[in-house]
Chain A
Amino acid sequence: ELKVEQNPLFLSMQEGKNYTIYCNYSTTSDRLYWYRQDPGKSLESLFVLLSNGAVKQEGRLMASLDTKARLSTLHITAAVHDLSATYFCAVVGGSNYKLTFGKGTLLTVNP
């Protein structure tokens, strides 16, 4: 059974600081997703990572994938308050369509 673990689960940052969220998964996968969720809202797609060594950046967020280590990272650069949200990683397993999600990282960026 595919398991996805994120850490930390809670992250409180100051504006302007950098930090990294980690996502480990237990079995081979060829696709990893990062989503953002605001309170009471749905999931907004941030990144889809398809291959070993893939790196994608959008604004202050950068995601990378190491399929050999079964590890993805979401790096936050110079955090701003607007980035406060819950961030989920999700992995597609052998089924090729079913997402298995981590528990999410609740990020709070303080002034």
Chain B
Amino acid sequence: AQSVTQPDIHITVSEGASLELRCNYSYGATPYLFWYVQSPGQGLQLLLKYFSGDTLVQGIKGFEAEFKRSQSSFNLRKPSVHWSDAAEYFCAVGNTGTASKLTFGTGTRLQVTL
């Protein structure tokens, strides 16, 4: 069975500082990996996804993530955080079946201080 671990429940960074959110997955084959962001009162928005190819994936809002098979990781990064980035971030893994069900991590809440 697939699973996702986000070890950091809550992270606080200063505006302008760099950010890295950790994600580790467990899956028997090549995973399909996603990062979603959930702002208060909003639905989840897809930041980026990895299916194959280049292991460094660029997303929206200046985010990027790197797939490292050897470490079973898919960490999310941003070089300079903005106050509007404060939100809940979810890493997810999709299976390779037709339905491609998503399994989510427990999320990391990002707080940005000014």
A binds B: no
Chain B positions near chain A (C-beta within 8 angstroms): none
Chain A positions near chain B (C-beta within 8 angstroms): none
